[in-house]
């Protein structure tokens, strides 16, 4: 194996670091997972990027993966989650490439709004849109109306991912790297507040950032409609990649390697070393 893997839990936070034996790039990659997921969801890409010479770090937010839960997930907010992302960025040896999936993309945008001088680039992987999650919320509510009602009544988003069948419908397509059962087993409860919070007037995108941005969307993304990904990239003036025949969890799809290669080539084109 051309890399080493370090899995730690310190102060209740799970971290997984992949370090190539022959490191070709000084800039590390920091990976922020999305709702329900954890650091484990980045494993396919961490392995690939390590083979290509990148050091990468993934961590799990409290109550996700193997990180300790610190407050009821019903009362978790984006501000609460963001403080952990900000702490992870400070832990990096130098400004990292910040890679955020879904809600992790929202946290990445949050960071771009607060400051951007401490990251080298941002890669938004099937991220929440630039302006609002309202359309995505409507699409999920229309698909699962009773579960959506229960979620609003309890402020819990767990009902939406209650079964492997639903998880398969929402996140992946056929022949993904994980089966719906395997993916469902790794998911955890999460808060509906964070979705409701990511709306005007509570949220406005930081459209005037000089940080290089790559936005990726899947053509079969059920949660976030692909044209919304495209429009969000336009909002930011970001480079855009639409991944054909891919669902929401781009790093777990059958096209995972090709998508990672596209990111790798984009970083090289931006002279991230």
Instruction: Give the CATH number, domain containing residue 85.
Output: 3.40.50.1820
- Our count of domains for the chain comes to 1
More confident position, 157 or 215: 215
Element (H, E) at 80: helix 78-91
d(CA 43, CA 16): 9
More confident position, 147 or 162: 162
Q: Could you give the C-alpha distances from 32 to 1, 124, 130, 179, in angstroms and in order? A: 25, 10, 17, 22
Chain centroid to CA 57? 13
- Read off the pLDDT of residues 206-261 as tens digits, 9 standing for 90 and up: 878 899 999 999 999 999 889 999 999 999 999 999 999 999 999 999 999 999 99
Residue 131: strand, helix, or coil: coil
- Read off the pLDDT of residues 85-123 as tens digits, 9 standing for 90 and up: 999 999 999 999 999 999 999 999 999 998 878 999 999
Structure tokens at 113: 């709004």
- Read off the pLDDT of residues 198-213 as tens digits, 9 standing for 90 and up: 888 888 888 788 999 9
pLDDT (0 to 100) of residue 71: 92
pLDDT at 1 over 90: no
Full-model pTM: 0.96
pLDDT (0 to 100) of residue 204: 85
pLDDT (0 to 100) of residue 160: 86
pLDDT at 271 over 80: yes
> Which residue range forms the structural domain that includes residue 226?
3-269
Query: For 155-192, where are the alpha helices, taking DSSP H only?
Result: 164-171, 180-186
Cβ atoms of residues 194 and 155 within 8 Å: no
């Amino acid at each position: 194996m051309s890399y080493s893997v370090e899995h730690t839990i310190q102060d209740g936070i799970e971290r997984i670091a992949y370090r190539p034996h022959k490191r070709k790039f000084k800039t590390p990659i920091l990976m922020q997972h999305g709702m329900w997921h954890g650091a484990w969801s980045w494993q396919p890409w961490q392995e690939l990027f390590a083979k290509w010479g990148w050091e990468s770090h993934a961590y799990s937010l409290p109550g996700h993966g193997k990180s300790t839960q610190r407050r009821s997930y019903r009362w978790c907010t984006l501000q609460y989650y963001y403080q952990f992302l900000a702490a992870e960025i400070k832990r990096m040896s130098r400004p990292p490439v910040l890679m955020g999936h879904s809600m992790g993309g929202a946290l990445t945008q949050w960071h771009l709004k607060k400051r951007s001088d401490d990251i080298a680039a941002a890669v938004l992987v099937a991220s929440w849109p630039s302006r609002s999650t309202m359309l995505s919320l409507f699409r999920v509510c229309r698909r699962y109306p009773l579960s959506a009602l229960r979620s609003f009544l309890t402020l819990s988003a767990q009902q939406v991912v209650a079964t492997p069948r639903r998880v398969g419908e929402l996140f992946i397509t056929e022949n993904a790297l994980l089966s719906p059962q395997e993916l469902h087993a790794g998911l955890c409860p999460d808060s509906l507040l964070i979705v409701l919070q990511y709306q005007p007037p509570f949220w406005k995108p930081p459209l005037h950032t000089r940080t290089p941005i790559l936005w990726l969307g899947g053509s079969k993304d059920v949660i976030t409609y692909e044209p919304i990904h495209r429009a969000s990239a336009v909002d930011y003036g970001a480079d855009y990649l639409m991944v054909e025949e891919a669902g929401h969890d781009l790093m777990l799809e059958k096209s995972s390697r090709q998508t990672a290669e596209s990111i790798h080539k984009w970083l090289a084109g931006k002279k991230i070393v």
